[in-house]
Structure formats: C-alpha cells, structure tokens
Structure 1
Amino acid sequence: MATAEETDLRLALFPDVHASERLLKWRPGLTTPTTLLLSSGSPLPASNHLNLLVAQTLQAALEPSTRTNYGYSIGIFIRFCFDLGLCVSQIFPISEGLLLAFVCAQAGSRAKKTVINHLSALAAWHETWGLRWHRFDVVDRALQGVGKLAPAHLPLRPPVELSDLLSARLFLHTTTNPLHAAVWACALMSFWSACRLGETTVPSAAYFNPARHVTRAAVGPLRTTSDGAQALAVELPWTKTTRQDGMTKVLSSQAEELDPVHALRWHLSVNSLPGLDSTATALFAYKIRAGPGWRMTPLTKVTMLNTFSEALRLAGRPTFSGHSFRIGAATYYWHRGASVDEIKLLGGWASDSFRVYLRDPVLGLAPLQQRFGAPSSASQSL
C-alpha cells in the first residue's frame, strides 16, 4: 500500500491525461537534467524555455498514433512497477534488473514486436526529457526468448472483395444520405487506389490539417484515356512512406455500381455548400444539420468504418478492419495477373512489403503457372 506521500508524488509525476500526452506530461522520475548543455557542461541561457521547445519538437516528430501507442506502453510499464510494490524512487533510473523483469514478464503472452514497441516508447520518453536511455545486452537476449515463446499468430486480416463492396452498397443510401455518399466514395477510392484509410479520412473531426489530410482541391480534372475510360488524379499531401512529398493516386471508371469516379463526383456534388473553400475542406467531408441549415464535418476513420460495417451487417456479411481495403486491393490486382511491380505502383509501396497482404495464393499463382506451364500436346507436335 502506497503511503500518502508516495500517492501524491505519483499523481504529480503521472497526472491523469490522455495517452497521447504522456510523453510530455509524465516525468520519468524526479531528476530531469537539461538536454541543452554547452561543451563546458553548463546549461544554455534560458534553457528551461528551450528545453520545452526541444521536448515539443521531439514529440511532434512522432505520428499522433505513435504518440498514443507510446503513451499506452509507458502506462503499462508504470503499472507493472506499481503492481510489484515499487515506489517512484525505486523505479528510476530504470535498472537492468527491472527492465529485464518487465520484458520477461510478457513472455508467452505478447509478441516480440509488441515488447520492442514498449521499449521504444520508454526510449522516446527518456529522450524527450533529456535522460540517458540504456537497454542492456541481457534485455536484447531476453527479447529473442520472447519471440520464441510468443503466442500463436492471430488469423490474417481478410481482404475486402468486390462482393463485399456490392453488398454494402445495397444499404448505403447515397442519394439521400450525405454521410453514406461520402463513405461510399471513400470506400471505392480506398479500394481501387489501395489507400490507407489514414490517407482518405481524418483521425478526428477536431483534427484536420490540410498539410496532412487530402482536400477537395487535390482532385484533378476529369480526363478520357485512349481506351475511352474516364480517369482523374487525386494528390495526397502526405503518406506514411513519402511523408510531405505526398503521392498521386489515380481513379479510373469501373463497371456500374463500383465506379469510383462516379461515386467521388456524386459525393462532391451532394456534399457541397455555397462558398465552400476547397483548399480547407477534407475530401470526404459531408453535410450535417446545424440548426436550420447545414455545416461540413470531416469524415473520420471511425465514422467511415462504423458506417460501412453497419451496411455489411445489414447485408449479413462479416465486417473488416480499415487495412482490409488496402489488403483487398493488393489481392484483387494479384488475382488478375498484376505483377509485383504493377501492384507496387498502384498501391504506392516503396518495397515488396505488400506481399504480406496477398491472400489466397491458389488464385494468385495458378494463373501464373498456367501461362508458363507445359504446352498442350497439340502445340508440342508443331
């Protein structure tokens, strides 16, 4: 049982804040030396102010989702220590024995990658506060054991297929419901251009940044290709792999209900208001009631998935995670004979990492064997 003094100290060091704020708001112990020192060892003038700027800048280098995940990892470590009955003065600086115990306590219940992420969070936390971080050689050896003792892998996430899209479309009222029009257009763009949902949606309605999230101004003019198809480009301002260099995604017309070009243009016409600034409006923002009129709100990842999943449930189909759209795109193109380089180009992959997304190798590899297999007896006799 912690003493009253210890409880007060814990509340001071680890206040009740959202996980994404813990890197800056939680302190790794009482001693937090300055990160800004001269060669003489003396602190820079106004170092308190500059140290705060350094901490904020280091935190900004991490993606919002990474900051949140790191915050949860730090919380897991602190809870582990408190459950052992340790007080703050015994936790910091983190000893070899304590870190080793933390890592080994997760053997058999956590994947090696998860434990490594916990350690990365602790490292980032210490760096943010200007504290030296050391992982110790024995901890690295223990990680090898964690990998061998890890539980069985979870089943692979299934791909979204054309039949899933068509089933959901039956229960999305795109002509009368602005949200449904936005969700349908977003689903088709995410599928056909193999987008991450983080590239087509926003993390929350309160967090929309035109420098990071695609806007309506990013949609290029409609063009007709040499084979008569309609196509347009969408310029993403930022992606996970290219960062601020962004990426060009292309949508081309498809058959009937699955046409992403038509769905996008319909969404843009339905979800519009007079005087709308296309450079400051999320691509898949939609209209919601605001008193007697309307206002626009960005389409969040949660809202998109919840709406699409509800349509699938009404259709009696299983639901999917957000990444299933990108998995579905890679698998779809593979099953139709696209080469590795073509799939990489369509999805914007910088490496062959997308191979882990490919599902049902029979449908993907059998056509390849058929093309390059043994010739028929008739052709052999020629």
Structure 2
Amino acid sequence: MHASSKRKKHLPYTPMLMSQLRSHLILTDHMDAAVFTCLTACFYSAVRVGELTMRSLQSFDPAVHVKVRDVQVEIDRNGLAETVFFIPKTKMAPDGKDICWAKQLSSTDPDAAFQNHLSMNAPPSDGLLFAYRHQKGHCPLTKAAFIQCLSKAARAAGIDPLQGHGIRIGVTLEYLLCGVPFNVVKVKGRWASDAFILYLRKHAQILAPYIQAVPEVHEHFVHYTMPPVR
C-alpha cells in the first residue's frame, strides 16, 4: 500500500491550534460564533462532536439534543463556577448526562465564547443550544457545517484541516499534560469499562510524542497502556 493511500492520522486539537483557528473566524458572524463556541465546548467538556451538533438540518429532537434551557452555572464548595449542561440522551447514557466546562484564562475560554454566542445568536430556550441566526430564523449547527467551517479556518491559517475526532484526542492529551489523573480523565470523557485503555492504545502513536516531554506522565502512560503480561 502506498503512503498516499493510507488513512491520515487524527492529529490532536490543542488550545494553541484553536487559538489559531479563532483568528480566522469572525466572532461577530452568527455561524462562526456558534462554531467556535461548539468547538470550545466540545474540547473542554470532552464531548463528542456528534453530541452537540446535528446530522441534518431536520434532525433536531428536544428529547435527545441539548437545549439552551438545559444549561446552568453551578458553584462548587471552593467557590469555583462551572457551566453545566444536560444532554437528554446519549449512546452511553440513555437517561441523559451532565457535562461541564470551567472558565479558561486564554483566548479559547469556552465561557467567553458561549456568552458571545448567546449575544450574537440568542437561540430560543427550547431550541438547539448551538443554533445560529439565519435569514429564516435560527439554523441548527450540523456536524458537516461545523467541520467545513473549521477546515476553512485551518486552510486560512496554513494548517492542514483536522478531523473532528481530533478534538477528543486533543482534550485527552490536554488534561493528561495538565496533570489530571488518568482515571479522572476517563470519567471526564465518559468512557465505559476498559474502553479508555483501548482508546489510549489506539492513539498511542499520536499521543506519545507530546507526552514524552513530561517524563512522569509518559511513564504512567506506558504503564497504563501496556497489556498485562500473561
């Protein structure tokens, strides 16, 4: 098989890369505001892109998809605020699941992006969270439109367009490099049973070069992903 015919690796999104994309999005544009907010929400909440976007313009289901009214701000015992939103139904949680993000001191802060999205698009409380203003009212953000918009921004920034799954790989990397324990990252990403270990093994070639810069994390990574000796 020729190298050109091989499937491209899912390179990870990083805060630096998202900041580069941000500089090529117009956050006063209704769609761009929704896309960037969705990107930061997916990243810092460790959510699958398909859980916050639509398969098609007609596929919105209030019993399945997160709505504006499903969002609230909670304060923990240390006085720190988290934005929590409830996804009514997911593949792994048929009764729904809370996911959350915390404010970030960077240009990729999901809280600032979300406030801009609400200001720009004012999606209805019972409508899709990432709906954006359109000529005929509000348009739900589809996964295809989300990926296409980010790909356009990537090309403008001189970056090869990344796959949507690179967000999930990237947030896993980000939390591990920030010193978040593996088991906590597993819970944050809502992996079941041993799926997280299998996930790390699958993407070891992508994650390992980044993690090697932090020896203690890399050592734990190797230990965590090595199959048991039989």
User: TM tier, shorter chain?
Assistant: 0.7 to 0.9
Partners of 2:179 and 2:22 in 1: CA distance: 27
Number of the residue aligned with 2:190: 348
Give the alignment's TM-score, normalised by structure 2: 0.83
Please state if 1:233 is matched with 2:84: yes
8 Å contact from structure 1 (residues 337, 364) kept in 2:
no
Partners of 1:155 and 1:352 in 2: CA distance: 26
Partners of 1:357 and 1:332 in 2: CA distance: 14
Superimposed CA distance per residue, residues 98-140 of structure 1 (whole angstroms, 9 cap, x where no aligned partner): xxxxxxxxxx9xxxxxxxxxxxxxxxxxxxxxxxxxxxxxxxx
SS of 2:135's equivalent? strand
Give the alignment's TM-score, normalised by structure 1: 0.51
Superimposed CA distance per residue, residues 311-368 of structure 1 (whole angstroms, 9 cap, x where no aligned partner): 1111111111111111111111122222221111111111332323453324436432
Superimposed CA distance per residue, residues 277-303 of structure 1 (whole angstroms, 9 cap, x where no aligned partner): x12x1010000113xxxx001000011
Number of the residue aligned with 1:367: 215
8 Å contact from structure 2 (residues 211, 217) kept in 1:
no
What value does the CA root-mean-square deviation take over the aligned residues? 2.4
Shift of 1:370: 8.7
Number of the residue aligned with 1:286: 132
Superimposed CA distance per residue, residues 123-158 of structure 1 (whole angstroms, 9 cap, x where no aligned partner): xxxxxxxxxxxxxxxxxxxxxxxxxxxxx9744311
Number of the residue aligned with 1:163: 16
AA at the equivalent of 1:203:
R
2:29 to 174, 177, 189: 177
SS of 1:231's equivalent? strand
What is the number of equivalent residue pairs in this alignment? 211
List runs of 5+ in structure 1 lacking aligned partners. Answer: 1-107, 109-151, 373-382
Shift of 1:196: 0.8
AA at the equivalent of 1:246:
G
Number of the residue aligned with 1:257: 107
The structure in which a higher percent of residues are helix is 1
Number of the residue aligned with 1:309: 151
- Bigger Rg, which one: 1
Cα 1:287/1:370, change in 2 over 3 Å: closer
Shift of 1:188: 0.1
Q: Share of identical aligned residues, percent?
A: 30
SS of 2:107's equivalent? helix
Number of the residue aligned with 2:228: none
Matches within 5 A, 1:1-382: 154-174=7-27, 176-220=28-72, 222-225=73-76, 229-242=80-93, 244-272=94-122, 276=124, 278-279=125-126, 281-290=127-136, 295-353=137-195, 354-355=199-200, 356-357=202-203, 359-364=206-211, 366-368=214-216
Higher relative contact order (CA 8 A, sep 6+): 2
Shift of 1:369: 6.5
